[in-house]
Amino acid sequence: MKRINDTMNNITVTAYVKGGRMKQKIASILAGKEGEGFVDTALKILISVVVGALLLAGLYALFKDTILPTLTQKITNLFNYQG
């Protein structure tokens, strides 16, 4: 019986100590004034979306006007071999 009580006491003390540490950690996180704000994150996402859209538009224009017509012509010439 004493062994069960000792085990329960150890579990209770351990939980109390861990709870106190967690409380201190949460309080320090909430009291901290450093870090990244929502506006910074939203601005980064917006910039990355705009840059990605410009990159995709450039690649689409390149493929549409330069690569695909040349590729189509080369494939047509390959299959129209009159040897």
d(CA 55, CA 61): 10
pLDDT score, position 4: 77
pLDDT along the chain (83 residues), means of 10: 81 92 90 76 94 93 81 82 66
pLDDT score, position 55: 95
pLDDT score, position 18: 93
Domain ranges of the chain: 1-34, 36-83
d(CA 29, CA 32): 5
Instruction: Kindly state the tokens that stand for 54.
Output: 């410009």
Residue 64 sits at the vertex; the CA angle it makes with 69 and 50, to the nearest 5 degrees, is 160
Helix (H, G, I), strand (E, B) or coil at 80: coil
